Chains A and B, each alone.
Chain A
Amino acid sequence: MLSRGKLAMALFIVSEANFFALLIIAYAYYHALDSSGANGAGALDVVTTLRYSLCLFASSATLWVAERNLRRQEYRGLIYWLLATIALGAIFLYGQGREYARLFSSGITISRNLFGTTFFTLTGFHGLHVFLGLSALATLFWYAVRGRLRQHQTEAVEAVGLYWHFVDAVWVVIFGVVYLGSLL
């Protein structure tokens, strides 16, 4: 049986998955239509984004290691691996910011056309979720540094972990649909 907190997080993730599903459907729907505006294939830098994406994917692994350290009561390791997770997530957000800046400078905005509308809404909401995840991780980090995160308190870390892996998984889908899709 799941604990109360983890169950609540799992249910929250179900609702979030539905939310993202609709944003992704909107993106895919407008790209399935003729390209009367909803075309951003040429504008995206797939290779650079892939590099930043790998950071986000790696952060799931580092968080998993952090959780293992907590279970083994290796609190110093917990702190370092949490820090690594936060750093990797922040690098991903920085990459997203750079990409937004590049698109803005070439005149692609949310109001420019359907590509801008669907792309910025979808990736923007994902970025917001990464930011919220980073805030949660930073809170855990703060508790860990002050020595207030102990072996029997794994529930909070595991709940945040579920959320972080979910945010990661959503990016796998977005990267596939938006970036790899643009290569087709």
Chain B
Amino acid sequence: MKGHELSETAIAGTLAEAGDVWAPHRSLLGWVASVDHKQIGIMYMVAALAFFGLGGIEALLLRIQLAVPHNNFLTPETFNELFTMHGTTMIFLVAMPLLTGFTVYMVPLMIGARDMAFPRLNAMSFWLQVFGGVMLYFSFFARGAPNAGWFSYAPLSESAYSFGSAQDYWILSLLVMGIGTVAGAINVIATVATLRAPGMTMRRLPLFVWMTFVNSFLMLMALPILNAALVMLLIDRTLHAHFFTPATGGSAILWQHYFWGFGHPEVYIVILPAFGIISEVIPVFSRKPIFGYEFVAASTVAIAFLSFAVWAHHMFAVGLSDTFNLFFAFASMSIAVPTGVKIFNWTATLYGGRLRFTTAMMFALAFLVMFTVGGLSGVSFAVVPIDWQLTDTYYLVAHLHYVFFGGTVLASFAGIYYWFPKLTGRMLSERLGRWHFWLTFVGLNLTFFVQHLLGMMGMPRRVFTYPDLPYWGALNMLSTVGAFVLLAAVLVFAWNLVFSLKHGEAAGDNPWEAWTLEWATSSPPPVDNFTRVPPVRGRRPLWDLAHPELADELRSRAA
């Protein structure tokens, strides 16, 4: 008996020592050398937020230049560099890594796994992302940043028109990040396919995991398209080849097909995980399971397939044949259907729920409205004649910002307020959160709604200044004021993050009384995530645990 006790103590001691060995190394080296999905996820998000600051500063400089007619705040050359870098940054260095950060942090926790399937590959993906971003920004010190726009249309992006190395930095940086993204997508799919906890069937996966799982297939299929196009452009520029140079027989249109062949799936790549966040936040703060789980998951698969058949709606003004335009107009309208299905699912989840208006929920609700506005202006672009009238105007700029800012960014804010307690063990301040929310909501609509009107009045995008036409100056000034309201919102948010990290209210394991597995462990979770994964017998394991008599499984059997 005594010997038995002794050995148990010895084992406990050994375990404690082992725990020390595996304890997170919070030193700088501990972060840099980490292969822990939680540390890597946080690093992804921190890097993305840092670049969000840079991209935001670029946007503010653009808005200052456009505040009044005939402005000379920026030179045309600088203006071109700034809008190129703003677009590239926000897509590749903010939206993608921020959502990837959520993904690599949350997916293993939500499926009850210890880590990703390939932890070292995970670290490689992250560092490729970081160094790709650094390489892009290094171009500022190497005789100027790229200035051919975020889609770098040929032949403008060819060596005859973009001399110097700026465009090559752009290509190489996107290539490096693209390889990292493909590796990350493989990792997520392998994780979900092989590391689910017992009982976690595909029909019980949290919807955030479903979205990122489908999204990884999108990345796997779409990023190689970009990589191939980038390689061809690079070969054109460095080895004097002729892929996209019309002067020597190449085709500028082929670049457009290739770029948008990637570029439209990309639009869904930066929105599907956002849909996933919304599908977690809305049910928890409505105190109801999601309405039509299967429809949310299946419509995502439909979106993924359709997203590869709509690219040429970016090219209606090119002068392709009518048949071609008709096909892509039809396909683009039909992709609005599965997206609309989701909006109905979320709205129906709210209906009759006991709503809790936390900051996370406020952002999720604002997402529903703002994303719908962006979706509707998007459908209007699927109508070819409307597209001919409005393409490359500020109407387009308004549309894409309602989708990216009103969609991806608002959902990411919702996700940050929702999961910050899990990541740090502390709550974000709800009071500052209110300020952050309302400033964002007002700033967003002030900045971008008026751009619809400017576009319909004919103001083209990417002009560095404009003549003093009726209303143009006033509307542009409103838009610039809105941009500064957004700056205030971001500053409040940054302060909230920094302040709450040290002084926030202690969160506990499950502050929102949520139902998915990440809330079953401590906040922040231990290195190996779970001491014991709760049994998974339904879609809401923690609900089943707390209310065994009302378990989802029993109810579905009774029904």
Which residues of A does B touch, CB under 8 Å? 1-2, 4, 7-8, 11-12, 14-16, 18-19, 22-23, 26, 29-30, 33, 36-38, 110-111, 113-114, 116-118, 121, 125
Partner pick for A113 among B118, B231, B239, B242, CB 8 A cutoff: B242
Known: A12-B186, A14-B220, A38-B249. A7 touches B194 (CB 8 A): yes
B228 touches A110 (CB 8 A): no
A22 touches B225 (CB 8 A): yes
- Residue of B228, B232, B235, B243 with most partner-chain A CB within 10 A: B228
Interface residues of B in 210-263 (CB under 8 A from A): 220-221, 223-225, 227-229, 231-232, 235-236, 239-243, 248-251, 254, 258
Q: DSSP class of B's interface residues: helix, strand, loop or mixed?
A: helix
Chain A residues with CB under 8 Å of B182's CB are 12, 15
* New A-B contacts (19) at CB < 8 Å, excluding given A8-B117, A117-B236, A117-B241: A4-B117, A4-B190, A7-B189, A7-B193, A7-B194, A8-B190, A15-B186, A15-B220, A15-B223, A18-B221, A18-B228, A22-B224, A22-B258, A30-B250, A111-B242, A113-B242, A114-B248, A117-B235, A117-B242
How long is the Cα–Cα vector from A117 to B241 in the complex, in angstroms? 5
- Closest partner residue, chain A, to B261 (CB atom): A22
Chain B residues with CB under 8 Å of A110's CB are 235, 239-241
CB B238 to nearest CB in A, in angstroms, measures: 10
How long is the Cα–Cα vector from A29 to B194 in the complex, in angstroms? 40
A15 touches B221 (CB 8 A): yes
B241 touches A37 (CB 8 A): no
CB B251 to nearest CB in A, in angstroms, measures: 7
A23 touches B194 (CB 8 A): no
A114 touches B250 (CB 8 A): yes
Partner pick for A14 among B221, B231, B242, B249, CB 8 A cutoff: B221
CB A39 to nearest CB in B, in angstroms, measures: 11
B243 touches A11 (CB 8 A): no
User: Number of contacting residues on B, CB 8 A?
Assistant: 33
Chain A residues with CB under 8 Å of B232's CB are 23, 26, 121
Known: A4-B117, A8-B117. A121 touches B241 (CB 8 A): yes
Partner pick for A19 among B185, B190, B227, B249, CB 8 A cutoff: B227
Chain A residues with CB under 8 Å of B221's CB are 14-15, 18
How long is the Cα–Cα vector from A4 to B240 in the complex, in angstroms? 42
A22 touches B228 (CB 8 A): yes
How long is the Cα–Cα vector from A125 to B235 in the complex, in angstroms? 12
How long is the Cα–Cα vector from A151 to B436 in the complex, in angstroms? 60
How long is the Cα–Cα vector from A30 to B240 in the complex, in angstroms? 17
A7 touches B241 (CB 8 A): no
How long is the Cα–Cα vector from A91 to B55 in the complex, in angstroms? 51
- Closest partner residue, chain A, to B183 (CB atom): A12
A111 touches B249 (CB 8 A): no
Chain B residues with CB under 8 Å of A37's CB are 242, 248-249
Q: Chain B 116-133 against A: per-residue CB contact (8 Å), 1 yes, 0 no?
A: 011000000000000000
Chain A residues with CB under 8 Å of B251's CB are 29-30
How long is the Cα–Cα vector from A18 to B219 in the complex, in angstroms? 11
Chain A residues with CB under 8 Å of B223's CB are 15
- Would you list 12 pairs from A and B whose C-beta atoms are within 8 A, ordered by A residue? A8-B117, A8-B118, A11-B185, A15-B182, A15-B186, A18-B221, A19-B228, A22-B224, A26-B232, A26-B254, A111-B242, A114-B250
Chain B residues with CB under 8 Å of A8's CB are 117-118, 186-187, 190
Chain A residues with CB under 8 Å of B250's CB are 30, 114, 117
Chain A residues with CB under 8 Å of B235's CB are 110, 117, 121
Chain A residues with CB under 8 Å of B236's CB are 117
Q: Chain B 434-446 against A: per-residue CB contact (8 Å), 1 yes, 0 no?
A: 0000000000000
A18 touches B241 (CB 8 A): no
Known: A18-B225, A22-B258, A29-B254. A111 touches B239 (CB 8 A): yes
How long is the Cα–Cα vector from A8 to B182 in the complex, in angstroms? 11
CB B179 to nearest CB in A, in angstroms, measures: 10
Q: Chain B 182-201 against A: per-residue CB contact (8 Å), 1 yes, 0 no?
A: 10011101100110000000
CB B546 to nearest CB in A, in angstroms, measures: 33
CB B96 to nearest CB in A, in angstroms, measures: 16
Chain A residues with CB under 8 Å of B228's CB are 18-19, 22-23
Chain A residues with CB under 8 Å of B258's CB are 22
Task: Enumerate the 10 nearest inter-chain pairs by beta-carbon distance, A residue then B residue, closest first.
Answer: A22-B228, A117-B241, A18-B224, A111-B240, A19-B224, A37-B249, A11-B186, A15-B224, A117-B242, A19-B228
Known: A7-B194, A11-B190, A26-B254. A113 touches B249 (CB 8 A): yes
Partner pick for B242 among A4, A15, A16, A114, CB 8 A cutoff: A114
CB A162 to nearest CB in B, in angstroms, measures: 13
CB A20 to nearest CB in B, in angstroms, measures: 8
Q: Chain B 304-320 against A: per-residue CB contact (8 Å), 1 yes, 0 no?
A: 00000000000000000
How long is the Cα–Cα vector from A86 to B240 in the complex, in angstroms? 34
CB B18 to nearest CB in A, in angstroms, measures: 24
- Closest partner residue, chain B, to A17 (CB atom): B224
How long is the Cα–Cα vector from A27 to B412 in the complex, in angstroms? 41
- Closest partner residue, chain A, to B117 (CB atom): A4
Chain A residues with CB under 8 Å of B242's CB are 37, 111, 113-114, 117
